[in-house]
Amino acid sequence: MNIKVCGITQLKQLQQLDGLNIDFAGLIFYKESPRYVVGKISKEELQSTDFDIKKTGVFVNAGYDEIMQTVEDYGLDVVQLHGDEKPELCEQLSDNVEVIKAFSIDANTGSIDKLVEEYDAVCDYYLFDSKGKAGAAGGTGIQFDWKLIKKYKIEKPFFLSGGIGLDDAAKIKAFKHPDFIGIDINSKFEKEPGIKDMALVLQLKQAMK
C-alpha cells in the first residue's frame, strides 16, 4: 500500500517522511492553495536532497513549459495534474516525468471508465478525489463514496484521496480493487495548513500493515 502525503511545505518534514519510508510527497505549485510551497522550500534545498520518496509536484491547469521548468528547478520525480488538463498535455509530460491525473468524483460523475478513457495511454497513475465546490481543485477534506468506483475496470494504478483520516485505516484495508495501489492524505494529518502531524502519519503507516 503506497502512502502519498500531500501539501508539504517544510524541508524538515520532507526528510521525516523519507525517514518513515513514505512513498510519495506532494508539493503544491498552485498559488491559490494555502499549502503553496514556493517561498517555503527553495529550489536549491530540494535539488540537494537525496531521498527515496517520490517528490510530486501538484499543478492546476498549468502549461507544459511552466510544469517542466518546475520539474527541472525542484528535481521533481512525478507531476500530479489536478485541473482540467487534456490528454495531449499528459502525453507531452509523460515523455519526461511520471504523471498522476486527478479526477474529482461525486454521485453525478457517471461512468469512471468513460471519464478516464482518453487518459489511459498517457498517464502512469490516476487519483480519485472528492468533488468540492465550484472552482475548488481538491483539498476539500471531504470523502466521496468509494463504492462509486469499485464496479469499474479503470485498468490503471490509482490512489484514493479526499478526507482520509487515521480512523479510515480499516476501511482502506477492506477496499478491494485490482488497480488500487495507495492513498493520498492531507488535511486530516495536519496541525495547520502545510504542517503535518508526523505522529499521526506514523500511526497510519503502522495501522496499514
DSSP string, 23-69: SEEEEE--TTSTTB-TTTS-HHHHHT---SSEEEEEESS--HHHHHH
Q: What's the structural domain count of the chain? A: 1
Task: State which residues form the domain around 172.
Answer: 2-207
DSSP string, 149-197: HHTS---S-EEEESS--GGGHHHHHH---TTEEEEEE-GGGEEETTEE-
Q: Which three cell numbers stand for residue 62?
A: 498549468
C-beta separation of 30 from 9 below 8 A: no
Please determine, for residue 131, whether its predicted confidence score (pLDDT) is greater than 70. yes
- Closest residue by Cα to residue 87 from 131, 121, 137, 127: 121
Per residue in 55-97, pLDDT (tens digit) is 999 999 999 999 999 999 999 999 999 999 999 999 999 999 9
Q: What CATH number does the domain containing 82 carry?
A: 3.20.20.70
What's the pTM? Answer: 0.95
Mean local confidence (pLDDT), 181-193 = 97
